[in-house]
Every structure is written in C-alpha cells, then in structure tokens.
Amino acid sequence: MTGKQQWDRGTSGDTGTRAGTLVGIRGGTRAGIPAETWGIPEGTPVTPVTPVTPVPQRAAGAPPGDARQELQSACAGGGGRSQGAARRGQGAGPGGRGLLGGAGLRELRLCRGSAEPRAVSGVRGTGGSGPGPPAGIEAAGEKGQEEEAEDRLKEHMDNLLDKSAKTRLAALRSLRLAFSSRTLSEFLLERRLTLTDSLEKCLKKGKGEEQALAGAVLALLCLQMGSGPEAEEVFRSVKPLLVSVLTDSMASPGARQSCATALGMCCYIAAADLEDLVSCLSCLESIFSPPSTSEGGSAPSQHGPLHCSALQSWSLLLTICPSSHIKSILDNAWLRLPPLLASSNVALRILAGETVALVFELAQDMEVDLCHQDTVFLCAQLRVLATESNKYRAKMDRRKQRSIFRDILHFIESCEYQEETIRFGLECMYLDSWACQRTYQVFKEVLSSGICHHLQNNELLREIFGLGPPLVLDAAALKASKVSRFKKHLYNSAAFKARTKARSRMRDKRADVL
C-alpha cells in the first residue's frame, strides 16, 4: 500500500465502517478488511475520518439554482469546515484526492441534472438494431465524397505548377491513378485548357520521370475527353511538343517511350486530318526503323522499350489508315518489319511478329498482293521462331515466343485467327482479328488495372469496340449475377478433373504411339 493510511477503530453510523477497517486516501475505502490482513499492528494510532455529508435533494418545483453553491452549502453544514476544505477534502495533501476529484464529481453531475445520459442514450439508439439511414442521407454522403475527390483533384492540378519537383511528381502520379481508375469527362471538360498548359510546362521544363508521367497523363486526358472537338484541340496543342521530345536523342528513354505512346493514343482518338495521321506515322516509323535497318543492317539493340512503344503506336495508327494510303505504307512496312524479328529483345520480336500478322491481315482486306518470295522467306523465319529452343534465351521468353509465333504462322498459312474472349463485369468482348487485338493491347497498357472500369463506363471505348451504350444495373441485379464461391469451386474442380484426364492419356508412357 502506498500513500497515507488511516485506521478507524471506532464504529461510525454514518459511513457504516467496522472496527479494524482500512481507509486509504489514495486507494479509497476497503470495507470489511481486518487490519491484521494488511500487516499493521492493532495498537497503531490513526486519525479518525470525518464522514461526508450527503447532498440535500432539491424540492419539486424549486428553481435549479447553482449546483456549486448547493454543494458548498452541503459541505459547510457537515463538520463546520471551510469552503476550501470542502473542495480539497478532509486530510487532502500531496498525493491526496479531494472531494471534487472522487465522489464529488459524481455528485456534481447529479446536481446538474440527467441531460447527459439522455443524450448518450439517444445516440446509441441510432446505431442499434433499428432501421438504417434513409436513402437521402446515403445520397448526401456519396455527393460529399464526390466533392471531396474533386477538391483533391483540383489540388493536384494546382501542384503541377509547384516549384518543388517532388511535389509535381506526386501530383502527376495521383492524376494518372485518378484518370485511369475513374471516368471524369465532365469534370475535365471545364479544366482541360489549364491542365493541358500545366502538362506542357512539365514536358518542357521537367526531366526524366516528370516528362514520362506528363506524357502518360496527356494520353489519359485525351482518352477521358473522347473524340470530340475538345480532344482535337488538346491534340493539336500538345502534338509538336510530343514529337520534339520523341525525336530528341538527348532526352531520357523513359520520356521518349511515354511520348511515343501518348502520340499514338492522342492521334488515334482525336486526329481529324489525314496530314496529322501521316506525319505521326512517319515520326514513329523513324524511331523503330532507322536507316541502318532498312539498308540491311542489324536490328536495333539499344532502347528496346522505346522501339516497342513506337512500333506499337505505329501499328495502332495503321488500323485507322484510309485505303488511299494503305498500299504505299504496307509496301514499306513489308521490308522494314522482318529485320526486327532478329532483335535481342524478346518483347520487340513478339511485337514485330504481331505487326507482321496485322500487315498481312490489312493486305488481305485491301486485296493487296504481297510479294510471294518475301512471304515464303517470312514463313520460314516465323517457323524458326515458333520452334526455337536456344538455351541462351530465358525459358519463359522461349515459351511465350513459341506460343505467339505459332498463332502468327497459323494465321499467315491458313488465314484463321484464334479468337479471344475478354470478360468484364456482366459483359464479354470477342477479339476476332489482329487489329482488334492490337487496339485492346494499347488501351490496356495505357489504362492498366482500370481497363475493366473504362470498358464498362467509358463511352469512347465502348464505341471503339462496338459494345453499345453503358449498361445501367441496380444493386439487386448485380448481386443476383454473382456466382457463389461454392459453385465456382465445383466448376473449377470439374474442369481440373477433365483436364487431368485428357492430358493423362497423352502423357502416359505406355500409350501407343501411332
């Protein structure tokens, strides 16, 4: 026991304590505990404790008055103590506890009435088992969240002009995430000029990562604006700057790669003149096909990602090229693409093979006859890539390369495309050509994880892929469309069993080989 201890050996009728009961100022009253239990001799002298006089109750109909005055008068009536002693408590010293520090606080709350418990009980009642908040409150909450998100976007837009490069980078990352995961066409329509001007300054004065992020945000901005005159205005404003950074050999490879993707995406969405399309095609072709390659030199080995982005954007624009210019472009491409198949970068080899299949598909649609000798040589080269087993290449790279080039070779030989199915929400989309496959791959690379959301809600993407207007579904329909986890488990188990049986017949060494 710490603190001052007192023993009351007499019997007090007010407090009800018995002889030998321990009264501690710090620890409170230990009623009914003998003194011998605490190891204190029975003959130790102690100071008696003055009992606390109870607070008199106010009569019915009497004015409330001051609770502090009532408490002071009640304390003054018992034992004739002063007001200071009543506030401090009998025997309160260092480490002691006054009257208002213990039971006095409870008495003071009782003197002030019972308004607090009623208020607390009312709050608890709203969170109990009663009905939930009305629909108006939920709508107001959603509106408040939207306003808060818009305020954050405005703050990020303002931070694009901050002097600190770290602040600008954080703002660009936040804008890229917001544009890729949400549809904000109405919000950006009023602020497109301000945002475009800020992004242009980031491209001009920024370096490296800042330029790369600015190019990515520009591509997403055009995708959010759609194919209207507003997007065309943005494209005409940023096109010279994108071309300047892309063709600048002193710029960082990451910035040039981002500008190549942004140039292809913005031109695909917003280009209204044929001159803009042809100039963008020529600019991108000069990146992935330098003069040394067209003259029979080796394939470019440096800046593989830059060449991949340029080739991907070039093939994307090739899908919307009019028939009046497609023949001359195909003739040049048929000579420039095969050398890229020998690149040391597996991504560039695969992308070049897919572009070859796209060119072959467009030539068939336009009824353009390609050189038969070049086709035979190309098929032989594709067959080597489809069966390559060189150990100096990574195992995963070889596996991916063989799978894709088998499909490319099959298409060139039989003109049959392996259809793919893309599922998002309650809908699905079928990719039945190399042109659709290339378009989907580019948008998927730009939007990343937000591709499913934009396929469901972005009118531009739904128009490009022929999905119609966005579906409007209520919560009940969405809940009914979901498959339970148990049903998914049963389906996966049955599919795994059937797949194992089918493969076991071919893998069994005892099976007859015909």
Question: What tens digit of pLDDT does each residue of 105-123 get?
Answer: 333 333 333 333 333 333 3
| 8 A C-beta contact, residue 417 and residue 411 | yes
In angstroms, the CA 35 to CA 44 distance is 10
CATH 1.25.10.10 domain position(s) in the chain = 147-272
The half-sphere exposure of 417 on its side-chain side, counting CA atoms within 13 A, is 16
| 8 A C-beta contact, residue 438 and residue 354 | yes
User: Pick the residue with more confidence: 365 or 252?
Assistant: 252
Question: What tens digit of pLDDT does each residue of 274-325 get?
Answer: 899 999 999 999 998 855 444 444 444 455 899 999 999 999 999 998 887 8
Q: Tell me, what's the pLDDT at 388?
A: 79
In the chain, helix, strand, coil percent, each to 5? 65, 5, 35
Residue 5 host element (H or E): strand 5-8
Token look-up 């048929």 returns 334
Percent of the chain whose pLDDT exceeds 90? 36
Mean pLDDT value across the chain: 75
DSSP string for residues in 286-337: HHHS-HHHHTT-PPP-S-HHHHHHHHHHHHHHHTT--HHHHHHHHHHHHHHS
Write down the pTM of the prediction.
0.67
DSSP string for residues in 408-458: HHHHHHH-----EEEEETTEEEEE-SHHHHHHHHHHHHHHGGGHHHHHHH-
DSSP string for residues in 220-281: HHHHHH-SSHHHHHHHHHHHHHHHHHHH-TTS-HHHHHHHHHHHHHHHHHH--SHHHHHHHH
Tokens of 179: 């544009």
| 8 A C-beta contact, residue 224 and residue 185 | yes
In angstroms, the CA 436 to CA 315 distance is 11
Question: What tens digit of pLDDT does each residue of 137-165 get?
Answer: 655 666 778 888 888 999 999 999 999 99
Distances in Å between the alpha carbon of 164 and those of 157, 167, 169, 184, 244? Answer: 14, 5, 9, 27, 25
Distances in Å between the alpha carbon of 465 and those of 392, 438, 459? Answer: 40, 12, 10
Nearest to 333 by CA among 349, 316, 356, 310: 356
Tokens of 463: 């128009």
How many Cβ atoms sit within 10 Å of the Cβ of residue 438? 22
Question: What tens digit of pLDDT does each residue of 64-76 get?
Answer: 555 455 545 554 5
pLDDT band at 390 (very low <50, low <70, confident <90, very high): confident
Tokens of 362: 């467009």
- What is the architecture of the domain spanning 147-272? Alpha Horseshoe (1.25)
